[in-house]
Amino acid sequence: MSLRRHFGTFLVAAACTVASMSASAHAILVDSTPKPNGTLAAGHADMAFKYNSKIDQHRSRITLVKADNSETVLTIATNSSKPNELDTSADLAPGTYTIRWQALALDGHITRGDVPFTVVAKP
């Protein structure tokens, strides 16, 4: 966690606070697979992140952070029938992970957040 990252988050929050006085539609995560602190089975995992507003799927980003802090940018499957959603997938071994998402809403505001989760071996 760098100071720069925190400062950037603060700027986004401030911009959205001002914008919300007019018509704001910046993206807030409302549901996800995996859930925050949730669990997935090992193997090929489909993941979905649902927001309260339309997302620019081409200019948003989903990064998989492993327990050793190595990062992999995942491919977002663009899907015009699910405009509020970012879909991706990865092949996951058992362990602890974080999905770091960055979503560009149609109001031009970027929001970001972390979804920590655990992958367990298939029974």
Binding residues for Cu ion, per CB under 5 A? 16, 19, 24, 26, 107, 109
Q: Provide the minimum distance between the beta carbon of 19 and Cu ion in the complex, in angstroms, as a whole number.
A: 5
CB 20 to Cu ion: min, Å:
7
Tell me the C-alpha distance between 14 and 4, whole Å: 15
Closest to Cu ion by CB, 24 vs 63, is: 24
CA atoms within 13 A on the CB side of 18: 6
Phi-psi region of 69 (alpha: psi -120 to 50; beta: other; left: phi over 0): left
Q: Whole-number minimum distance, CB 73 to Cu ion, in Å? A: 24
Closest residue to Cu ion in the complex (CB): 26
